[in-house]
Amino acid sequence: MSRLKNAPVVHKMLKIPRAVFENLIEVCKREFPNEACGLIAGVRENGVSYAKKIYPLKNIAQSPFVYETDAEEVYNAFLNIEKSGLSILGIYHSHPFSRAEPSELDRRSAFYPDMIYVIVSFEGGIVDVEAYSWDGEKFTKQSISIEDGN
Ligand SMILES: [Zn+2]
């Protein structure tokens, strides 16, 4: 198989400090039973994405099954992330009642090949967090490493 000339950069691993990881779960729990959504900001180095901060966004759909962001709020979050010297690593959203796997809707609405898609599931009262990269066609599961000590 030949490589595409302009293939998107694939980020193989997402590293999250424990405090940021716990914050992510907390902000998602707060929206339960609706889906939560937001941005993950951090730095990228040699295929590793280091998450530094979570930027929660309003789910204007206010639904347990879908999320929709406000364009102006996203734009402001982008500016804040840029101002703080970080990059946008990805997008997170929660699945209050289903597994931490991209839904058919997630597939249809994915359009950032360079982004990591993090899904926080609360299905059956159990917290499960998974990360995926999007190559324009399909999601591929990525490993998440929770880092202690920062
Ligand atoms: Zn979803």
H or E segment to which residue 79 belongs:
helix 71-83
Domain ranges within the chain, ordered by starting residue: 13-147
Catalytic residue among 22, 26, 31, 35: 35
Q: How far is the CA of 143 from the centre of ligand 1 (A)?
A: 18
Q: Per-residue confidence at 3, pLDDT binned at 50, 70, 90? A: low
pTM of the full structure: 0.90
Q: Can you name the CATH fold of 13-147?
A: Cytidine Deaminase; domain 2 (3.40.140)
Across 101-122, average pLDDT:
90
The pLDDT of residue 22 is 97
Q: Per-residue confidence at 20, pLDDT binned at 50, 70, 90? A: very high
Cis peptide before 33 (omega within 30 of 0): yes
73 is catalytic: no
Residues less than 5 Å from ion ligand 1, measured at CB: 103, 106
Q: How far is the CA of 5 from the centre of ligand 1 (A)?
A: 30
Q: How far is the CA of 113 from the centre of ligand 1 (A)?
A: 16
Tens digit of each residue's pLDDT (9 = 90 or more) over 59-98:
999 999 999 999 999 999 999 999 999 999 999 999 999 9
Q: How far is the CA of 147 from the centre of ligand 1 (A)?
A: 25
Tell me the C-alpha distance between 28 and 123, whole Å: 13
Which range (4-8, 44-48, 67-71) has the least confidence?
4-8
Q: How far is the CA of 104 from the centre of ligand 1 (A)?
A: 8
At 140 the three-state DSSP class reads strand
| Cβ(110)–Cβ(102) below 8 Å | yes
Q: Which two tokens stand for residue 121?
A: 């599931």
End-to-end alpha carbon distance in the chain: 41
